[in-house]
Structure formats: C-alpha cells, structure tokens
Amino acid sequence: MKHELVRYNAHKDSGVEWLDEVPEHWGMKRVKDLALLQSGDSIVSEQIEDEGPYPVYGGNGLRGYFSRYTNNGDHILIGRQGALCGNINYAHGKFWASEHAVVVYLNSGIVMKWYGEMLKVMYLNQYSLSAAQPGLAMDRIKRLLLPVPPLSEQKSIAAYLNTKTVQIDRKIDLLTQKATQYGKLKQSLINETVTSGLDKSVAMKDSGVEWIGEVPEHWKVNRLKNLAYIKTGGKDTIDNVEEGAYPFFVRSQTIERINSYSFDGEAILTAGDGVGVGKVFHHVNCKFDYHQRVYKISNFRDVVGKFIFYYMRENFHKDALRLNAKSTVDSLRMPMFQNFTIAFGDIEEQQAIVDYLDTKTAKIDRIVETINTQIEKLKELRKTLINDVVTGKIKVAQ
C-alpha cells in the first residue's frame, strides 16, 4: 500500500517541553498507561554462550545465547542499565531478557512499531542516574507523557516507517559495503606495493621471512633496530592539556594536546597496549610529546620514514600476532619492535613508493569520505523522518 506525507490541519500545545505542538485529535498519556514495563530476569555472564537456541538481551542489546527463555512473542526492550541505557531494541519469538533490560508488555490497541519508535524519539537516556554504572530512573520514565494517535494512525505510521526505514537502511548497507571494499583496496594496495615495489617485472627472491614471502631481488632485508631509534614516552594520559600547544600521542587514534614536547622531527608513533595496540600508527614531523606506553620510531637510517610507516601499518600487527601466537595482542614489548623485519629498496625507490601511495591512498580516502558523508546524510534523514512522523509533524495519508 502506498503512503504519502501531508500536514495535519490543526494542532494543539502538547504541554511537554521537548514536544511542542501535536495534532489536535491526538491524546496525551503516560508511558505506563500504554504498557506494563517490567525488568528482565537475572543471568550471570558465565551462563551466556556464543551460540544457543535463545538470544539473551541485556541493557545494550543482544549479549549472546542461553538454553532457556523468559519471554515468547514480539516485544520492545528498553536498556535499563549500562553505557547505552535507554536504547530501544525489538525482540521476536523466544528470548531471555536480563535484569539490565526492561520488557515492554503493550496494552491492546497499541502498535508495537509506533510505540517503539516513539520511545526512541523521547531519548530516554537523558533520564539516566549519574553513577559509575548508568541506569534509568524507571519510575520517572513510566510517568513521562507522550502523544498517542488513534489506532488507525498508529498502524499507518508503523507501515510507513517499516517501508521507508528498510529502504534507507538498504542504501546505508550498500554504501557501507562500498566503503569497506575501498578500505580493503587501500590496504591491499599498500601491502602489495611496500613488499613488491612498483616495477612488477623485476626478478624476485625469497626474503627468508615466512610472513613476508618473496621480495624484489635487489632489495635488502634488515631488522628495525638497525634502521631507526626506538623509545617509549615519559608522559601519562593525565598530563594532557586541553588546547595545549603541542600534539600529545596517547594509546588511541585520538591525538590529545599538551604544553610540553620531548621530540622535534620525523617519527612514527604506535600504541604499546590498549585498544589500538599494534594497529594505531601516526606519521608526523613536528614537535610533540608522547605517552609512556607509546613507542616512538625515529632517526631513520638508510630508509624513508614514511615508507617505514606504510610498511609497519600493514605488516607489524601480523608479526606481533605470530610472536604472541594469539588472535589478539594485549601489549607490545621493545624486542618486538627491535626484531621486526623490513624489506626495502634504495632511498630513491622508497621515496617513489611513498609518493605513489600518497597519491593513490589520498584518492581512495576522498572517495570513502564522500561515501561516509552520504551515509551520515541518510542516517540524519532516517532520524528526522521517524521523529516527524511519530510526533505528528507530518501525517501519513493513504
């Protein structure tokens, strides 16, 4: 069935600060007048599995699976506790709702999709209690007023949103896949170029390193400790200064600021532990300071710093995984850097590779940036569309 959007003829003051006006014939009711809100049942983390017959929902959505279930049917779930408290999820069929989720049992005459999207628009997380573990003040949530259209309009709104949001989500998914493909292309381009060079016709030789494989016959193979100086920083995260004079490199992709500098020049920086371990790399040429668990690679000898940056960004994590013999790297130690093997040509060839990759990756980055801009616009369109329809700014007309 095709739906069109039109304006309502008459409005009234809702009496709710964030809502302003609503259609004149809509009612205003409390959250608890439309549904029973009941906390889920306790379950310990050790009981939750990666696979199982029934999904387990917690305060932040799907947590895993369990052998038993607490509910059967279609329900809205409100995150009651956790970093994402107030978020809304839909559960279908048999599932277990943990004590960190609130299960919504709708009264008759209330359409689930309309009610769930209305709860999203209300931004329930703004009613969380300040604590180490954020949680919703459920008594206050239950007393909140919301506009209620007649059942026929609830159904029209739900049908319209089901159609439109699926269409928008499909476009977002396709664009996301496209951005991912360009990311893989960039990664493959860098990896192939820094290990094979630009001239694909040259003779190859075994590098002597299993994970590197073959490299151009005229290239050298050496350890990083013979090509650069490696050192950790002397600062801690608490030393950062908002709007400080110099960049401050910590254990994440985010670059903080500080009013001191301990190095002035070209360097590669990467986290020694934390979320970005083995993957967060920066290439800079300036005055900066750095964290005590951040490694600085500088004072390059016989190699171009930017070439080493490209080389390590794509290959260092592989070697760190091999040395640790595990799927994740918790922390890096100095010997890992010192003994990391690098294959390279002469300075001129390295610079040619850097220039080539700078040009090619910048082009890919611009494409990805454009795609991400389109994704953000679609997300904003989705958000605005839902808000306007469920609050009565726009009418869904058949």
Interval 193-205: pLDDT, tens: 999 999 989 999 9
Identify the burial level of 341 via C-beta atoms within 10 angstroms of its C-beta, where 0-12 means exposed, 13-18 middle and 19 or more buried: middle
Report whether pLDDT(222) > 90: yes
Q: Are 289 and 283 in contact (CB under 8 A)?
A: no
Domain boundaries, the chain: 27-148, 220-344
Identity of the amino acid at 390: V
Token pair for 252 = 């994440």
Query: What phi and psi values does residue 170 have, to the nearest 5 degrees?
Result: -65, -40
Here the tokens at position 250 are 């910590």
Q: What does the DSSP assignment read for 251-319?
A: SSSSEEEES--SEEEEEEEEESBSTTTTT-EEEEEEEEEEBTTEEEEES-SSS-HHHHHHHHHHHHHHH
Which run of H or of E encompasses 32? Answer: helix 31-34
Residues near 276 by Cβ (< 8 Å), separated by ≥ 6?
251, 252, 253, 270
pLDDT at 182 over 70: yes
Q: What is the pLDDT of residues 54-99, one digit of tens each?
A: 999 988 888 999 999 999 999 999 998 877 788 999 999 999 999 9
Q: What is the mean pLDDT of residues 108-117?
A: 94
pLDDT above 60: residue 122: yes
> How much is the pLDDT for 3?
62
**pLDDT category of residue 324 using cuts at 50, 70 and 90:** low
The yes-or-no answer to whether 27-148 and 220-344 have a common fold is yes
pLDDT for res 2: 57
Q: Tell me if residue 324 falls in helix, strand or coil.
A: helix
Q: List CB contacts of 291: < 8 A, sequence separation 6 or more.
A: 233, 235, 236, 237, 248, 249, 250, 251, 271
Residue 49 has pLDDT above 50, yes or no: yes
Q: Give the type of residue at 338.
A: Q
**pLDDT for residue 325:** 46
Q: Is the pLDDT of residue 100 over 70?
A: yes
In sequence order, which residues have a C-beta less than 8 Å from that of residue 255 and are 6 or more positions away?
A: 247, 248, 249, 282
Tell me which of 80-94, 158-172, 216-230 is least confident: 80-94
Show contacts of 198-206: CB within 8 Å, 24+ apart. 198/349, 198/352, 198/353, 198/356
Distance CA 86, CA 127 (A): 8
Q: Dihedrals φ, ψ of 152, to 5°?
A: -60, -40
Q: Name the band, by pLDDT with cuts 50, 70 and 90, for residue 125.
A: confident
Q: What is the pLDDT of residue 314?
A: 86
3-state DSSP helix/strand/coil % of the chain, to nearest 5: 35, 30, 35
Query: What is the model's pTM?
Result: 0.81
The mean pLDDT value for 317-324 works out to 68
- Comparing 184 with 134, the larger pLDDT belongs to 184
Whether the CA torsion 235, 238, 241, 242 is positive or negative: it is: positive
Query: CATH code for 27-148?
Result: 3.90.220.20
- The reply to whether CATH 3.30.70.141 applies to domain 220-344 is no
pLDDT at 30 over 90: yes
Q: Is 374 helix (H, G, I), strand (E, B) or coil?
A: helix
Strand, coil or helix: 183: helix
For residue 14, give the nearest of 29, 34, 4 by alpha carbon.
29
Question: For residue 90, what pLDDT is reported?
Answer: 94
Residue-level pLDDT at 19: 87
Paired sense of beta strands 35-39 and 281-290, if any: unpaired
Number of Cβ within 10 Å of residue 254's Cβ equals 10
